[in-house]
């Protein structure tokens, strides 16, 4: 069952990358809009230099892939690499296909943004990523959390990164492209937030287990996180412990692996908007 789920996750990442590349190449770019994040940076470079867009996308994302391997692990990097390669190849294929939506730019961009958001949601829900800004945000909040002992949302970092992208579009391309791209960001983000439950927010993992020492040790070793421990009692299982841990969305796959390695443990995940101290 676990092997089947692993294979399906790769299939969904491929599907999501194809959807994203279709939206960018055949809907957004022909309608004066661009993708956001590092893909947006790559599109700007391609427009200014005339270099191949798929190559720009891949090489802009490459440093973030390397950083992802260092900070987020091998499993994440494999999935992120698969998504970025499929996305780049998809751009190469789709940009050669004649396709036109006979409607207003506004409607076309809104539709393209929805497809892009759906594709990115598939990738994110299955532990992948094709946007370096998300990796950068995760690394920054991880460093801040390790240094201060507090948990932070990725939202401010992502907003700042994309604000720089759109300001650049405004000055080096034109106003229309900047406004259309903002619409893409708004629509895609709404779709992603709906299907990933606000992936940029802090996640609270509540774990019920009788092997609290083993799970706490693995969480400290693999995630460099700590837990709050509460005594609890199950109607059937009897005495156990409830562990509460706060992590980022990109750390969830590692947490799932940790929990699955300890039989008799189960957990719930919820989104936390703010932690008061």
Place of tokens 């294979």: 7
Quote the pLDDT of residue 1. 60
**Please, what is the end-to-end C-alpha distance for the chain in angstroms?**
41
228: Cβ contacts below 8 Å, ≥ 6 apart: 243, 244, 245
Q: What is the pTM of this model?
A: 0.86
Quote the pLDDT of residue 275. 76
**Inter-residue contact 250 to 131 (CB < 8 Å):** no
Which positions of the chain have pLDDT values less than 50?
A: none
Element (H, E) at 269: strand 266-272
Q: 96-100: long-range contacts at Cβ-Cβ below 8 A with a sequence spacing of 24 or more?
A: 97/25, 97/26, 99/26, 99/30, 100/30
CA–CA separation, 188 vs 119, rounded Å?
A: 9
**Inter-residue contact 208 to 264 (CB < 8 Å):** no
Quote the pLDDT of residue 97. 86
Quote the pLDDT of residue 249. 86
Q: What is the tens place of the pLDDT at every residue in 42-101?
A: 999 999 999 999 999 989 999 999 998 888 888 888 999 999 999 999 999 998 888 777
**Inter-residue contact 10 to 79 (CB < 8 Å):** yes
Q: How far is CA 134 from CA 11, 38, 184, 250, in A?
A: 21, 9, 17, 9
Q: Where are the domains of the chain?
A: 2-196, 202-272
Topology of the domain covering 202-272: Alpha-Beta Plaits (3.30.70)
Q: For residue 77, give both structure tokens.
A: 């990097």
């Amino acid at each position: 069952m676990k092997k089947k789920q692993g294979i399906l996750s790769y299939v969904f990442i491929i599907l999501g990358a194809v959807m994203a590349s279709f939206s960018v190449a055949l809907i957004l770019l022909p309608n004066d809009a661009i993708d956001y994040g590092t893909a947006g940076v790559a599109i700007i470079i391609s427009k200014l230099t005339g270099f191949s867009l798929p190559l720009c996308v891949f090489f802009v994302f490459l440093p973030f892939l390397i950083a992802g391997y260092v900070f987020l692990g091998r499993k994440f990097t494999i999935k992120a690499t698969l998504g970025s390669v499929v996305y780049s190849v998809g751009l190469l294929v789709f940009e050669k296909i004649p396709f036109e939506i006979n409607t207003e730019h506004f409607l076309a961009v809104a539709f393209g943004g929805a497809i892009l958001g759906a594709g990115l949601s598939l990738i994110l829900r299955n532990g992948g990523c094709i946007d370096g800004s998300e990796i950068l945000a995760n690394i920054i909040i991880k460093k801040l959390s390790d240094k201060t002992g507090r948990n932070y949302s990725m939202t401010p970092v992502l907003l700042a990164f994309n604000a720089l992208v759109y300001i650049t579009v405004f000055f080096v391309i034109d106003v229309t492209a900047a406004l259309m791209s903002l619409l893409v960001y708004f629509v895609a983000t709404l779709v992603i937030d709906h299907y990933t439950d606000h992936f940029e927010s802090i996640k609270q993992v509540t774990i019920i287990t009788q092997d609290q020492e083993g799970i706490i040790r693995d969480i400290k070793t693999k995630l460099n996180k700590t837990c709050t421990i509460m005594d609890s009692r199950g109607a059937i299982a009897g005495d156990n412990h409830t562990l509460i841990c706060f992590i980022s969305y990109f750390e969830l796959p590692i947490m799932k692996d940790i929990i699955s390695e300890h039989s008799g443990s189960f957990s719930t995940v919820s989104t936390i908007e703010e932690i008061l101290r």
